[in-house]
A = this chain, B = another copy of it.
Amino acid sequence: MNDQDAIRKLIDDRVTAMRNRNGRAAVAGLARDIVAFEVAGPLTAPAAQVTDAVATQAWLNSFDGPIDVDIAELAIHVSGDVGFAHSIHTLRGTHKDGTTLDLRMRSTLGFRKLDGQWKIVHAHTSVPR
């Protein structure tokens, strides 16, 4: 698999993990020291929290049924052991308490190839204010 395809697979695997509400799979592609700028919360989210499979699973478990992630306008740039990607994501799901999530947001991901394996070392997700 070439690097472009490997990065595309990393993105698709996360979407599949969300849909299947699999916390461990959802964080598998993240570097332990990821610098994460998330939609809500502090300017930078703690890496230990972002990569925590148990906390991610708890969040996924708050949904009733699959979480649908649609990725549009995806562009991937890669050279050597560095890459980045940007896209527009639509997240849709229904929480067990009946509230719904329906969010369009911007996603930028930064990648590094570490020991022959591509990892997400930076994630920036936002909605315009």
Contact = CB atoms under 8 A, between A and B. Distances in A.
Copy tally for this chain in the complex stands at 2
A8 interface: no
Nearest to A37: B106
A77 B124 contact: no
A116 B84 CA distance: 19
Name the prevailing secondary structure of the A interface residues: strand
A105 to B, nearest CB: 8
A44 interface: yes
A104 to B, nearest CB: 6
Which of A81, A122, A128 has the most C-beta atoms of chain B within 10 angstroms of its own C-beta?
A128
A10 interface: no
A78 interface: yes
14 contacts: A35-B75, A35-B86, A37-B126, A39-B129, A40-B129, A43-B88, A43-B105, A77-B110, A82-B84, A84-B84, A86-B124, A106-B126, A124-B126, A126-B127
